[in-house]
Amino acid sequence: MRQTILTGDRPTGPLHLGHYVGSLRQRVELQALHDQTVLVADLQGLTDNGHNPAKISENILNVVADYLAVGIDPAKTTLCLQSALPALSELTLYYLNLVTVSRLERNPTVKSEIAQKGFERSLPAGFLTYPVSQAADITAFSANLVPVGDDQLPMIEQTNEIVRAFNRIVGTPVLTECQAMLGKVSRLPGIDGQAKMSKSLGNGITLGAPADEVQAAVMKMYTDPNHLRVNDPGQVEGNVVFSYLDAFCADEARVSELKAHYQRGGLGDVVLKRLLNDELQTLLEPIRARRAAYLADKGELVRVLQQGTDRARVVTGDLVARVRRALGLALLV
Amino acid sequence: MRQTILTGDRPTGPLHLGHYVGSLRQRVELQALHDQTVLVADLQGLTDNGHNPAKISENILNVVADYLAVGIDPAKTTLCLQSALPALSELTLYYLNLVTVSRLERNPTVKSEIAQKGFERSLPAGFLTYPVSQAADITAFSANLVPVGDDQLPMIEQTNEIVRAFNRIVGTPVLTECQAMLGKVSRLPGIDGQAKMSKSLGNGITLGAPADEVQAAVMKMYTDPNHLRVNDPGQVEGNVVFSYLDAFCADEARVSELKAHYQRGGLGDVVLKRLLNDELQTLLEPIRARRAAYLADKGELVRVLQQGTDRARVVTGDLVARVRRALGLALLV
């Protein structure tokens, strides 16, 4: 059965291999099977960059170029810009009245992000309330499937709480509940072995990285610090090179063999890293070329985003009109 | 010099004499001199009525009828509906990123309202953040003058903080700072002597109240509980009848005389109340008749509101377009 999928990214920087493994690759598969919308979430990007809006605005087209470069097809996927969809803001304001401040403060995802970002007393109201804005995004498209990492499950729960509260209040099922779609590999570690690849940590490989940068990153990847000589037995767990081989090497049998060899000793890090580098170069070369071509014609990127956004305006405009009617607020045209 | 004024009401019930004295009367004067917009603030009404939207939706046209009945002229004043102006929601979302949660929690007006409404742990996020939504309303119209009661001054301060933060961040004065316009009589007491006339306290006189209801309300007004016999000296302070005479009797010299007479003794409550009743009946009779006529033709009320809202959409749409441009978010049309 065809599902309606909503997903997206905050345009805070060019996308990297973590995005590729965690979501982009999956989206290219999903667009053939389902109605997929991918949202460039600039409003959400502003929730913790309110004092530096250029960081968001300057990355919108980068992200669109990344999407097209990996094979997201605007004829199959609706690519749209959050800030250009006024229905999303309006829905957010309605939903804010159905969620308590203490409920938002208990959201585990937001709690850990607040700690991570060191917000404390300077927590922007928009950041505390962004799960409500996400609920607006999901419900505006009547999405029933939302691809997420397991750290994002509380967002799905919050959305469904809002959906149930709203439908109960207006006495009719205007909004659609959604389900999380958990990916196989939900998170690629940084090249330094940290759990998360992120631009701010400087431990990522972006999709547009030049070949020599990719190679340098692979060569300094964290492996097993106790694997000093080639003949020593090495550890696979926590070894970033193997995490990447798991994620990028299609030949699973071969990766299994390499793991066994590494564990019993006799397989050197450099050999492995060359293998991984070959895999990544093969993957990234055409992506890098397409990305550069798209970025050389920004007018075309804007046209693609405009077309998708126009389509999304119709869908989200219809939904918010139904919400307004259900609330008795449809006096005017 | 012509000023730009923004004001409005939450449509939580029909308007009453407290509104007339505190704002409506003033608006009728101001519309001749300034560019005045009056917002039917249904979104704001929902911030503490999220679970009972009918209370808001059912009162929108009542409030519009009240406006027209007291003499607010849609040819001079822009009468518009908040939920039908998507620019206001969008601005709210941008501004939420510039205000911290702790700043909102410190807002004296919101703090006392939270206590009054007994929200405690069930405080809706929309209620905590409504000062940000008000800032969106005010700035969307580039209003520089906002008529408020003194209890609303923190709202003006919050708005100007947002204005200054936004203009500083984008490096150009897109938003306009506003000033509070404090009325002469900012608050009419309830007929029971409580500081505030309100529908929920049942101590008000609505603009559409039938003549006998007005009379009954006047006759049971709180006066001086120690003024037992006509010849006793009576107290003017805290005496609701005198507060109303001050507010509604144009002949100030006469009210002064009555006060002196009452204070030295010899003037009975009933005589005074008859006087006040005459004043109020003279005021309310034509208002009541016009109000009933408007409510008998709801299509006309909707047309008036639609026309004003269409005008407001242009103004607020222009402002939010400038905000988007300043944020670098004007890629799409």
Question: For the residues of B150-182, what is the DSSP string, one character each?
Answer: GGGHHHHHHHHHHHHHHHHHHTS--S---EEEE
For the beta carbon of residue B189, count every other beta carbon within 10 angstroms: 20
Contact B101 A128 (CB under 8 A): yes
Using a CB-CB cut-off of 8 Å, the residues of chain A touching B309 are 332
Closest Cα in chain A to B170: A53
Closest CA to B22 of B8, B11, B2, B12: B8
Whether B253 and B323 map to the same domain: the answer is no
Question: Is the CB of residue A96 less than 8 Å from the CB of residue A132?
Answer: yes
- Average pLDDT for B104-131: 92
Whether B94 and B141 map to the same domain: the answer is yes
Whether A154 and A252 map to the same domain: the answer is no
Contact B87 A92 (CB under 8 A): no
Residue B321 lies inside a defined structural domain of this protein: yes
Question: pLDDT band for position B121 (50/70/90)?
Answer: confident
Whether B279 and B302 map to the same domain: the answer is no
Using a CB-CB cut-off of 8 Å, the residues of chain B touching A169 are 50-53
Q: Which of B53, B84, B128 sits opposite A327 (nearest CB)?
A: B53
Distance from CA of A111 to the nearest CA of B (A): 14
Distance from CA of B272 to the nearest CA of A (A): 44
Q: Which of A128, A169, A306 sits opposite B332 (nearest CB)?
A: A306
For A62, half-sphere exposure in the C-beta direction (CA atoms, 13 angstrom radius) is: 18
- Which strand ranges, in their side-by-side order, compose the sheet holding A145-148? A77-81, A35-40, A4-9, A145-148, A179-182
Using a CB-CB cut-off of 8 Å, the residues of chain B touching A61 are 331
Closest Cα in chain B to A57: B328
pLDDT higher than threshold 80 for residue B4: yes
**Interface size, chain A vs chain B, as Cβ–Cβ contacts under 8 Å:** 172
Contact B328 A58 (CB under 8 A): yes
Whether B42 and B135 map to the same domain: the answer is yes
Contact B170 A83 (CB under 8 A): no
Tokens of B333: 């049309």
- Average pLDDT for B112-132: 92
Residue A198 lies inside a defined structural domain of this protein: no
Tokens of B307: 């026309």
Whether B176 and B37 map to the same domain: the answer is yes
- Average pLDDT for B82-95: 98
Whether A243 and A100 map to the same domain: the answer is no
Distance from CA of B278 to the nearest CA of A (A): 38
Tokens of B190: 């309830």
Contact B332 A96 (CB under 8 A): no
Closest CA to A60 of A306, A310, A289: A306
Residue A110 lies inside a defined structural domain of this protein: yes
3-class secondary-structure state, position A308: helix
Distance from CA of B89 to the nearest CA of A (A): 5
Residue A116 lies inside a defined structural domain of this protein: yes
List, as one string, the DSSP characters of B267-291. Answer: --HHHHHHHHHHHHHHHHHHHHHHH
Contact A305 B331 (CB under 8 A): yes
Question: Is the CB of residue B94 less than 8 Å from the CB of residue B323?
Answer: yes
Whether A244 and A312 map to the same domain: the answer is no
Phi, psi of B209 (to 5 degrees): -60, 135
Whether B43 and B184 map to the same domain: the answer is yes
Question: Is the CB of residue B55 less than 8 Å from the CB of residue A328?
Answer: no
For the beta carbon of residue B275, count every other beta carbon within 10 angstroms: 17
Report how far residue B81's alpha carbon sits from residue B308's, in angstroms, rounded to the nearest whole number.
8
We report the CATH number of the domain holding residue A249 as 1.10.240.10
Closest CA to A171 of A15, A63, A11, A327: A327
Whether A283 and A304 map to the same domain: the answer is no
pLDDT higher than threshold 90 for residue B255: yes
Residue A332 lies inside a defined structural domain of this protein: no
Question: pLDDT band for position B184 (50/70/90)?
Answer: low
Distance from CA of B171 to the nearest CA of A (A): 11
Whether B125 and B269 map to the same domain: the answer is no
Contact B99 A51 (CB under 8 A): no
Using a CB-CB cut-off of 8 Å, the residues of chain A touching B42 are 329
Whether B58 and B114 map to the same domain: the answer is yes
We report the CATH number of the domain holding residue B60 as 3.40.50.620
Can you give the residue range of the structural domain that contains B257?
Answer: 211-293
Per-residue pLDDT of chain A (333 residues; tens, 9 = 90+): 899 999 999 999 999 999 999 899 999 999 999 999 999 999 999 999 999 999 999 999 999 999 999 999 999 999 999 999 999 999 999 999 999 999 999 999 999 999 988 887 799 999 999 999 999 999 999 999 999 888 889 999 999 999 999 999 999 999 999 999 987 655 789 999 887 887 778 899 999 999 999 999 999 999 999 998 999 999 999 999 999 999 999 999 999 999 999 999 999 999 999 999 999 999 999 999 999 999 999 999 999 999 999 999 999 999 999 999 999 999 999
- Give pLDDT, residue A187: 77
Provide CB contacts within 8 A for A238, sequence distance 6+.
A193, A224
Using a CB-CB cut-off of 8 Å, the residues of chain A touching B167 are none
- Give pLDDT, residue A37: 98
Closest Cα in chain B to A88: B90
B235 membership: H or E segment, kind and range? none
Residue A197 lies inside a defined structural domain of this protein: no
Report how far residue B189's alpha carbon sits from residue B241's, in angstroms, rounded to the nearest whole number.
10
Provide CB contacts within 8 A for B93, sequence distance 6+.
A43, A89, A92, A126, A133
- What residue spans of chain A are helical by DSSP H? 17-19, 25-33, 42-46, 53-57, 60-70, 86-96, 101-106, 108-117, 125-128, 130-140, 153-170, 211-219, 240-248, 252-264, 269-295, 298-327
Using a CB-CB cut-off of 8 Å, the residues of chain B touching A313 are none
Contact A331 B305 (CB under 8 A): yes
* Length of chain A (residues): 333
Torsion-angle region of residue B118: left (phi > 0), alpha (psi -120 to 50) or beta? left
pLDDT digits (tens, 9 = 90+) for B266-298: 999 999 999 999 999 999 999 999 999 999 999
When divided into structural domains, chain A yields a total of 2
Residue A204 lies inside a defined structural domain of this protein: no
| Residue whose tokens read 């529908």 | B199
Question: Is the CB of residue B102 less than 8 Å from the CB of residue B128?
Answer: no
Q: Which of B43, B58, B84 sits opposite A93 (nearest CB)?
A: B43
Using a CB-CB cut-off of 8 Å, the residues of chain A touching B94 are 43, 46, 50
pLDDT higher than threshold 80 for residue B74: yes
Higher pLDDT, A157 or B120: A157
Using a CB-CB cut-off of 8 Å, the residues of chain B touching A50 are 94, 97-98, 169
- Give pLDDT, residue A121: 77
| Residue whose tokens read 């997929």 | A36
Residue B270 lies inside a defined structural domain of this protein: yes
